[in-house]
Every structure is written in C-alpha cells, then in structure tokens.
Amino acid sequence: RYDAGVISSIEEYRPKPNDLFVCAIGNMKPKKKIISMILKRGGKFTNIVHPTVLMGNNVRLGTGVILCPYSVISSNTFLGDFVCVNLHASIGHDVRIGNWSFVGTGCALNGHVTLGDSVFVGGHVIVLPRGSIGNGTVVGAGSMIIGRVKPHVTVFGVPAKEFRFPKSINN
C-alpha cells in the first residue's frame, strides 16, 4: 500500500526544482493540456522504462516516454516525446514513432514503420513492414495496416480501412 495524498490541483501546482513528472494518461487531448501546463511552469518530465523491456542498439527516446513491461524495442528506432508503448508491444528495427503517440498492448510495428504525431494504435494491431500512419490517426484494435494510412482518420479491420461513424453518433 502506498499512502499518497493530493498535493494540489494541476492548475495551482508550481513545480519545485527537483520535481520530476511522468504522465500516463491515454487520452491525448487532456494529456497534452496537462503536460503543457506543467511544462510552461518549468516542470521536467522523465522517462519510465520497465526493467523487463528489451532494447536494441541505437534506440533514441524523447522526453516523457513510458515503456511498459515486456515490450521490445529493436535497433535503430526513434520514439518521440510523450510516447507510450504498452505491455507486450514489439517495435521493429528502423521504426519512427512521432510525439504524443500511443502503441497499445500486444502491437507489432514491423521494420521501417513510421507513425506520425498523436497517433493512437489500439491493442493487437499489426503494421506490416514499411507501413506508415499519418498524424492524428486512430487505428482500431486488432487491425492490420498494409501500406500507408492518411492523417486524421480512423481505420479498422484486416486489412484496415477508413471507418466513418454513422451520423447518429456524431449528432
């Protein structure tokens, strides 16, 4: 058991010189808002790498990265700022993951894959070699990406296709 109290609200908190932060919020909009508030006040973020993570050579991590248990990060990869890689994910060689992106549980991003900024990849997604996913795209759980996915869309399926929400959901 860990007895931690609430220090203050995010709006009122002022970082102290030795404070380090980590943010594990999965929803990108509130995550960006909270992190931006802390950064503007001089807060510093650290990376969290679980001891079971397997990491290859020449891996570059941005700031505020979270690598969850049993994930594998192969050689010559780059993970941007505030990226989260969830449990049992496999990041292949020569992969680039943009800032603010999330890789779900059990995903396989094969070699030479590129994820833009603010990409959400649901659990158990497979991205075939040289696949790319544009900025702000959401990939539904269990999907397979073959080739390129344009920015700011939601895709789902095997192979993944653009998903358009019924009008009744958007109204």
Contacts of residue 52, defined as CB under 8 A and 6 or more positions apart, other chains included, come to 69, 70
Q: Is the peptide bond before 159 cis (omega within 30 degrees of 0)?
A: yes
Question: Distances in Å between the alpha carbon of 3 and those of 6, 31, 86?
Answer: 10, 24, 26
Tokens for 152? 């700011």
Which residues of the chain carry a pLDDT beneath 70?
1-2, 4, 168-171
CA–CA distance, 74 with 78 (Å, rounded to integer): 10
Contacts of 127 (CB under 8 A, 6+ apart): 107, 108, 109, 110, 113, 121, 133, 144, 145
User: Tell me, what's the pLDDT at 170?
Assistant: 56
User: What is the pTM (predicted TM-score) of this model?
Assistant: 0.91
The pLDDT, as a whole number, for residue 169 is 60
Tell me if 89 sits within 8 A of 75, measured CB to CB: no
* Residues with Cβ within 8 Å of residue 134, at least 6 apart in sequence: 116, 119, 148, 149, 150, 151, 152, 153
Identity (one letter) of the amino acid at 14? R
What's residue 147's pLDDT? Answer: 96
